[in-house]
Amino acid sequence: MNTPPPDSLPQPQRGFNTSRRGFLKTVSVLPIALGAARLASRATAAPAAADALPQIPFGRYSMSRLVCGANPFNGGSHLSVFVNKELKLYYTPEQILKTLRRCQEVGINFWQSGGKLHCELYQQLVAEGSKMHYISLGADPKEIETYQKRGCVAIAHHGEVTDRLFKQGKLDDIHDFLKRVRDAGLMVGVSTHMPAVVDAIESKGWDVDFFMCCVYERHRSAEDLQKLLGAVPIPVGEVYLQSDPPRMFKVIQQTKRTCLAFKILAAGRLSERREWVENAFKQTFAGIKPTDGVLVGIYDKFSDQPVEDAGYARRFGAVRVDVGNKS
């Protein structure tokens, strides 16, 4: 297996085949692919049984250890404005629904997203008879009631806002939002890209059900990067270090709360080779608790990613956890 050197990420190779985000060949100015390279295709990948994915307890629910993320649907690549536009062109509301239906077919029963449009799409899924559950991100107390009425089962405080307030010494400002989520009868979560945030909330003993944990601390300041690397990359802010995931895995292991690890493929930077994708899933499931899950964005234009990712979840996340008679 090819492994990248410490504190660096693999560079793209010329001549790789169209795969998970092969559309990047149409934007050749980009140096990296957006999603995980896949060898399986729609023509050969058979649907997995709906009950085949390992499950974990999530409040009164039973959650598949693989959760569908939101960024590709939102056009948020964390790579380039060109890639963002390609995602938005592909993910029409109809295509989002099609992808989510496929996710449910292979056993993925939770979707994490946010915003009015996606809430409406979720309601359409439910009207069709879908059993998928919905987790939202949020930071505006005025939105809590809307999410609750539209069938959301949990809200996590938005990670970008969480981390900004933490850096400003204002983490306590989010506590009222969390209390309001609880008062609405929803599960309470906090999203973050920083292990220190999880430690801080744990030390405060807040009433929180789960954390959403980015395994890469991708938005360090220029000053932080100068101290850490001795240089400041361009652009500043989107730096992914191989040494980051172990730091987040450590705090995930230390909390008893359910954690959903996300950006395990470094926002597509580990997507060029199948072995890199496989290793990312393997290391993540090995690094988190048996009661934790993995949240992954899906871009299925060129291959059946729901099936592919479900295969990794069954292979590396098959830890038996008693979930009782949960829905």
* Residue 236's CATH number: 3.20.20.100
For residue 5, pLDDT over 50 is answered with no
- The tokens describing 31, both together, are 């140096």
Answer yes or no: is 325 within a domain: no
For residue 292, pLDDT over 90 is answered with yes
- The tokens describing 55, both together, are 């499950």
For residue 38, pLDDT over 50 is answered with no
Answer yes or no: is 4 within a domain: no
Q: Give the per-residue pLDDT at 325.
A: 56
> pLDDT-derived band of residue 267, with 50, 70 and 90 as boundaries?
confident
- The tokens describing 73, both together, are 């649907």
183-230 residue pLDDT tens: 999 999 999 999 999 999 999 999 999 999 999 987 777 777 677 777
Q: Which of 26-30, 143-147, 216-220 has the lowest mean pLDDT?
A: 26-30
Answer yes or no: is 257 within a domain: yes
Assign 3-class secondary structure to the chain: CCCCCCCCCCCCCCCCCCCCCHHHHHHCCCCCCCCCCCCCCCCCCCCCCCCCCCEEEECCEEEECEEECCHHHHCCCCCCHHHHHHHHHHCCHHHHHHHHHHHHHCCCCEEEECCHHHHHHHHHHHHCCCCCEEEEEECCHHHHHHHHHCCCCEEEECHHHHHHHHHCCCHHHHHHHHHHHHHCCCEEEEEECCHHHHHHHHHHCCCCCEEEEECCCCCCCHHHHHHHHCCCCCCCCCCCCCCHHHHHHHHHHHCCCEEEEECCCCCCCCCCCHHHHHHHHHHHHHHCCCCCEEEECCCCCCCCHHHHHHHHHHHHCCCCCCCCCCC
- The tokens describing 5, both together, are 């050197």
User: Between the CA atoms of 216, 217, 221 and 222, what dihedral angle is there, to the nearest 10 degrees?
Assistant: -30
146-176 residue pLDDT tens: 999 999 999 999 999 999 999 999 999 999 9
Answer yes or no: is 9 within a domain: no
Cis peptide before 235 (omega within 30 of 0): yes
For residue 23, pLDDT over 90 is answered with no
Answer yes or no: is 210 within a domain: yes
CB-based contact 26:86 (threshold 8 Å): yes
Q: Which of 41-45, 133-137, 200-204, 251-255 has the lowest mean pLDDT?
A: 41-45
Instruction: Please tell me which residue, 133 or 266, carries the higher pLDDT value.
Output: 133
CB-based burial label for 227 (10 Å; 0-12, 13-18, 19+): exposed
Q: Give the per-residue pLDDT at 28.
A: 37
Instruction: Please tell me which residue, 319 or 132, carries the higher pLDDT value.
Output: 132
57-89 residue pLDDT tens: 999 999 999 999 988 888 776 777 787 888 899
For residue 264, pLDDT over 60 is answered with yes
CB-based burial label for 150 (10 Å; 0-12, 13-18, 19+): middle
Check the CA dihedral 98-104-107-109 and report its sign. positive
CB burial readout 274-311, b (16+ within 10 A) else e: bebbbbbbebbbebbbebbbbbbbbbbbbbbbbbbbbb
Task: Give the span between the Cα atoms of 147 and 114, in whole angstroms.
Answer: 9
Instruction: Please tell me which residue, 220 or 122, carries the higher pLDDT value.
Output: 122
313-323 residue pLDDT tens: 999 999 767 66
Shortest CA distance to 53 belongs to which of 296, 265, 266? 296
In this prediction, what percent of the chain has a pLDDT beyond 90? 61
234-245 residue pLDDT tens: 776 678 888 899
CB-based contact 64:319 (threshold 8 Å): no
Answer yes or no: is 7 within a domain: no
For residue 306, pLDDT over 80 is answered with yes
For residue 326, pLDDT over 90 is answered with no
Q: What's the mean per-residue pLDDT of the chain?
A: 84
Q: Give the per-residue pLDDT at 20.
A: 47
Answer yes or no: is 3 within a domain: no
For residue 131, pLDDT over 80 is answered with yes
For residue 7, pLDDT over 90 is answered with no
Q: Give the per-residue pLDDT at 14.
A: 38
Across the range 301-317, mean pLDDT stands at: 95
For residue 261, list its beta bridge partners: 213, 294
Angstrom distances, CA of residue 130 to CA of 95, 101, 104, 111, 121: 16, 8, 8, 12, 11
Answer yes or no: is 20 within a domain: no
Q: Of 114-118, 247-251, 316-320, where does the model show the most confidence?
A: 247-251
State how many domains the chain has.
1
CB-based contact 193:217 (threshold 8 Å): yes
Q: Give the per-residue pLDDT at 80.
A: 75
Residue-range definition of the domain harbouring residue 118? 31-37+53-316
Across the range 97-126, mean pLDDT stands at: 93
